[in-house]
Chains A and B, each alone.
Chain A
């Protein structure tokens, strides 16, 4: 199939990130070559841990170096995606870095703003003597596209965990508060998946805006329930075989797996050149969802035993009252709860 702006995301969905990029590498380069200008990137870091940057550096096909050296603008030999600002990897430091943001990025033709880390109350994070909140406002005002990477920038993440000592919040919430009305593409997970970052940047550069769910996440990556539609351990669940000891085998549900209330393609895409994902070695923590970590912890607690996940009691979750968003998952939980009850009765009887 020939690559067009229209079918870009469809193909991405069908092929997965790395297969897509390797299959359509030449077409992508052609499209970028026609763009005639760089897409300048400003990658801001607030209340972050640089984990998403490190995750981005784990990208394969194309890898990090290829992105920065091979996919070039026309015949210029210069990379299409040029970071003018990035604290963790940039050659420049100090005042020059700030100047490059102002003089190069802000004046560029096409500007992507990537934000890693949460936005906090005033005074908790300063960069170059200026509060991080001001950095975000200034850059968001002029950006052509805003991508929030990782759980912190999307929904506040760990820094926003109770009692939220620094008033941490996600970028879209912050922008609304300060009256900047621009769409933010949210790429949660802790850290963000390198495929998700690369493909979203590619989509933005192609002008193919991904379709987003109600939390601002591209549906192509976050449209499926992990437990119901993707998890390889699902057959165990259906047969009632559960992992209950660290060395055991079975569905991770009873250990506290958050797959049933998590929408992400981790199980399908896997991590680090597709070698594994959390459930293969322990449990899903639910890091793709808003309300993480508080609504998902204690992490070793069954979903049905959590005090009010998404503000709904376990019983109601079981009864399927959470509505369409919980979907099929709720039905299965209901089934399980029903079975649980029956077993108890049998025992008592």
Chain B
């Protein structure tokens, strides 16, 4: 047994290390090293919840987005929905549409940048699919070899999606246009026209390039499966056998119906339900659709660097104090559980909670009339690298379509109010109140809890997606979803070019040539000692970790 450590894990947000204990398996073709147990080390702490205490409740909307600059708009959204809830004010339809438009554009940016800049490069290499390999040979490489063509276009497209966020929110990262019970930005025709024109481009990229790319990966996956299976003498189907976690998937739902906001608020009030009027449904999938219930969330701290308490605690009771020196603790993050089980959150969880295991839908660009039929049958119900990437592609297509539809719809509401009557000034703050924001961040379920006393924040709690996915073991010693997903992953004693050559003759040499030209050290890409960590890295990245989010902790 050896211990293989990757620290820092790059192309994620934040500071993450992974620690893998290995074991050897022997087959007819040889002895191979695989991951036995994995531990996620979350490596940075800032203390947002402590900083928020005593401030104007509305300041949470400006401060919490800075938890993460990648998923900036979503902390803002969760903070604002917690405020709406605490104030007891539902945003009027025009405001819901404006929030959905801005938030939808944000989602497109986030899923695109993750697909190509963060998780894509390794998949491009393993699939010998040049459009997803970074453009290491520059414009010439893009033109002649298609090397990095999708990657480079994605940079342009994510920027265009963020322009839509800025049109409504002032700037991205960190838009500023929401207010309890509504928004502070008016629907204007220039914003509407600017949004539709831009989202039409994003739609085109998603429906054509992204869809084509994920199908190419699926095709290549079979070949990768065959080669690896025969080399190792195991049964490995391909990318769908990389990174399965548990069968449990949790979603809070996304994009409320502007004409049925009460259905959205019901979950915040603690009722059981699935928010079925929203574009993405809430739910606690365990192989079948199950209602979500807020009271079933608890956080455990046995292996977290925080003072012990027995059992799990609901976020409104969260009682954590940082304790960096606690014996046996290996992570800053806590271990949230739903119904005491480790649930995976994120785009895959959103898709199964909404569509089940068959994601088929048709999306029409309302501007051009073009249609695309997206079809994807889940390849591994426990989740996998390729299913998670496919879920982001599906949602970029779906959400870019929706943003255009909402924008067209908004024209009907041009002269409607954009904020609740109770908050149509900048002075009202409730004396004492509490509220939950339950939304989906691109990387999964996000909860904000605010408790207002004497018009100030008395307590603030966030339970963020990366805590669900990358949190440590719990009091029952169940590994977190990513820790689980890493188990049994192959750690080849071969370099990246050697693996590439084994998969496709000559491909590794081509890659090595391009990489070594940039820096000879790239010959050792992803190597930790004698072990190649490409597969664990692809698995970790498929969850789109955001460690700044995961480790924000803590109120006293």
User: Which residues of chain A have a CB within 8 Å of any CB of chain B?
Assistant: 45-55, 57-58, 60, 63-65, 69-70, 72, 77-79, 82, 84, 86-97, 99-100, 103-104, 120, 123-129, 132, 157-159, 161-166, 168, 190-191, 244-247, 254-256, 271-273, 275-283, 285, 293, 297-301
Chain A residues positioned under 8 Å from B166 (CB to CB): 271-273, 275-276
* B9 x A247 contact (CB < 8 A): no
* A125 x B10 contact (CB < 8 A): no
A165 to B68, CA, bound (A): 18
* B69 x A103 contact (CB < 8 A): no
Nearest residue, chain B, Cβ from A69 = B138
Chain B residues positioned under 8 Å from A97 (CB to CB): 8, 10
What is the interface residue range for chain B against chain A?
A: 35 or more
* A93 x B45 contact (CB < 8 A): no
Given contacts A77-B140, A87-B15, A165-B46, contact A157 B66 (CB under 8 A): yes
- Classify the interface of chain A: helix, strand, loop or mixed: loop
B439 within 8 A of A: no
A123 to B324, CA, bound (A): 8
A91 to B117, CA, bound (A): 9
A168 to B51, CA, bound (A): 12
| Cross-interface CB contact of A94 among B8, B176, B418, cutoff 8 Å | B8
A327 to B419, CA, bound (A): 37
Given contacts A126-B43, A299-B62, contact A93 B526 (CB under 8 A): yes
* B44 x A124 contact (CB < 8 A): yes
Given contacts A51-B70, A63-B155, A271-B172, contact A247 B63 (CB under 8 A): no
Chain A residues positioned under 8 Å from B469 (CB to CB): none
9 inter-chain pairs at a CB distance below 8 angstroms, sorted by A residue, are A54-B72, A58-B172, A96-B527, A132-B44, A246-B179, A272-B163, A278-B170, A280-B185, A297-B56
A84-B519, A125-B45, A300-B58 given. 9 additional CB < 8 A pairs?
A49-B72, A63-B159, A69-B135, A90-B11, A96-B522, A127-B7, A275-B163, A278-B171, A299-B58
B55 to chain A, nearest CB (A): 6
B266 within 8 A of A: no
Segment at the interface with A among B388-396, B403-411, B420-428: B420-428
Interface centre among A52, A95, A99, A256 (most CB of B within 10 A): A95
| Cross-interface CB contact of B517 among A78, A256, A279, cutoff 8 Å | A78
Nearest residue, chain A, Cβ from B169 = A281
B448 to chain A, nearest CB (A): 16
Chain A residues positioned under 8 Å from B183 (CB to CB): 246
User: Which residues of chain B have a CB within 8 Å of any CB of chain A?
Assistant: 5-15, 17, 43-48, 50-51, 55-56, 58-59, 62-63, 66-70, 72, 113, 117, 121, 134-135, 137-140, 152, 155-156, 158-159, 162-163, 165-177, 179, 182-186, 194, 322, 324, 417-419, 423-426, 515, 517-519, 521-522, 524-528, 533, 537, 548
B506 to chain A, nearest CB (A): 21
* B51 x A57 contact (CB < 8 A): no
B146 to chain A, nearest CB (A): 15
A104 to B518, CA, bound (A): 11
Given contacts A247-B424, A272-B165, A276-B170, contact A166 B176 (CB under 8 A): no
| Cross-interface CB contact of B525 among A96, A128, A163, cutoff 8 Å | A96
